[in-house]
Structure 1
Amino acid sequence: MPSESPCSGHADVEGKVGPESSGGPPTTLHSAPQNSPAMAQLLPSDVKMLLLMSRDPGRYSTVTRRLWGHIFDSLVVGSLERMALGVSQLMRPQALGPVIRATAMLYFHLCPRCTVQHYEAALDTFWRPPVKPPTLVFYSYDDPLCDTAHLQELLASWQQAGMPVWAQAWETSRHAAHLRQHPLEYRHALITFLGRLGLVAPTARL
């Protein structure tokens, strides 16, 4: 089993991707971070699953074959400086923004094993994904935690690697709250995607 940082939060995903869960029906993963500045929450458990699969592909080969699709909601893509700025913009009151930004950067500096190294490993996994299932991505252009230019470069690289990719984007939304802010469009995109995978009937409703 790969060695992990004690603060990387992988213990909660071992039950999902360990050998004991290798048998079963097709799986579609829906990844969405919590709206929180904590690193372990900005990187949802399904992203940590990809980290595990990239580090030990043999151990999780059966899980890889079961993975029919992946749905990413509010991916965090960009520099740590962008993340610190985004966290400061999400917090209230806004007057505390500069303090929160400085505190976040200090946290990254003091705890690199739990933050910088973990985040960079996750980004590397995205740029060189261990699996290439059909993928749906939800994002907004005004998400303070996501550099949309870099995100679009990432999606283009996935397509060039042969991964089928669809995206639902909004000019204005809120990080990790697209379903709440755009319920009809969100559900339509989700059902259409699952229909492409043959997992729901085209007329299904959520």
Structure 2
Amino acid sequence: MGFTWIWFWRKTENEEEVENSTMTAPKNRRSIITRDITKNMTFFTECTDKIEWDSKTLTFKKPTGNPLVLIMSWLLAKQKHLRKYAEIYTELGFDVLVVHITPWQLLWPTKGTQLVAADTLKFLENNSTYAPIVVHGFSVGAYQFGEMMLMMSRDMKRYQPILDRMISQVWDSAADITEIPVGLPKSIFPKNPRMESALRNYVMYHLKTFHNQATVHYMRSSQMFHSTLLKAPALFLVSKNDVIGPESSNRAVTDNWERANIKVEFKCWENSLHAAHYIRHRDEYLSLLFKHLEYTGVFENSSVKSRAKL
């Protein structure tokens, strides 16, 4: 069926570790301003100016002058958890746009994820002062980015300038569609075999019954992600014990990218947490991330502060 992407969510050790972690903001950190641009896009910035935008075009009335990080979120992530990742970048002088989708939007792409993809591209196109752009995706965020690339591929003359502004990409815990019947039920019902079995049966039913409405779109996004329009250097962060985002699936993608002469760095931990490697391996995660950003030239941007300390 090929490589496409699954979502992840559970209120178990992942969220508990995030909530109990010692990641606290430095005392000298400026307050982060948060704004909901749409129901599916949340904006984070340290800019103290009033943030205003046109609700139809999503254009900011006054650009902040900062570079941008586009975070493609895992499913049903809480804002307080996404904020911790946003703070990594706002502390460096970036603005951050988080794109998040609902389970319903994922199950019905033409009425859900594809509309979110269109809004995301509208924001990036109409706020052209955002450069450079860093893409940092988690889990289902890779599928969502694939949908964006499919839209861009249909009008490259229009969207190539957006791709040209993207100079770095980070993929944390991406997962294969072949793992959905196993990974999703285990993630949501790890201690309830009956509910796990019921959800597994429904997922298999959904993929088979709604092939044209859903599965075919996952497959097309997968194919696009494999061939990828974005040739910027990439960092992959995975773990051997992640049953939802297996090492093998991610290596299949990186092998394709390397054959296309894309610079890829691949980190695989023996033991970690899906979409939460930052929590389990904070110092190493940041070290890998900052090294990657330095390689791509992000720190040469005049708006980026030199505060990347481990």
TM-score above 0.5: yes
Give, in angstroms, the shift of residue 22 of structure 1.
3.7
Please tell me the residue identity of whatever aligns with 1:13: A
In the TM superposition, 1:140-151 aligns within 5 A as 140-151=239-250
**Distance in 2, Cα, partners of 1:78 & 1:152:** 15
Distance 2:147 2:309 in 1: 30
Counterpart mapping for 1:1-206 below 5 A: 5-18=109-122, 19-33=125-139, 41=140, 43=142, 45-79=144-178, 82-92=179-189, 93-95=191-193, 96-200=195-299, 204-205=308-309
Change in 2 beyond 3 A, CA 1:185/1:168: same
CA shift, 1:155, in A, is: 0.7
% identical equivalent positions: 22
Between 1:147-156 and 1:196-205, the stretch displaced more is: 196-205
Contact 2:240 2:270 survives alignment (8 Å): yes
Equivalent pairs counted in the alignment come to 194
Provide, for residues 37-75 of structure 1, a one-character-per-residue CA deviation record: whole Å limited to 9, x for no partner: xxxx56554343223223332221100111101111111
Distance 1:142 1:51, change over 3 A: farther
Equivalent position SS for 1:205: coil
How big is the shift at 1:191? 0.8
Q: Tell me if the contact between 2:142 and 2:171 (Cα under 8 Å) persists in the aligned partners.
A: no
2:143 touches 2:218 (CA, 8 Å); kept in 1? no
Q: Does the CA-based 8 Å contact 1:15-1:21 persist in structure 2?
A: no
Asked if structure 2 preserves the Cα contact closer than 8 Å seen for 1:22 and 1:60, the reply is no
Aligned counterpart, 1:38: none
C-alpha spacing 1:158/1:123, structure 2 compared with 1 (3 Å): same
Pair 123,13 (structure 1): closer, same or farther in 2 beyond 3 Å: closer
Structure 1 pair 12–200 and aligned structure 2 pair: CA distance change class (3 A): same
Unaligned runs of 5+ in 2: 1-107, 301-305
> Which amino acid in the other structure matches residue 174 of structure 2?
L
Query: What code does the residue aligned with 1:181 have?
Result: R
Max radius of gyration: which structure?
2
**In structure 2, distance between residues paired with 1:151 and 1:44:** 13
Structure 1 unaligned spans of 5+: 34-40
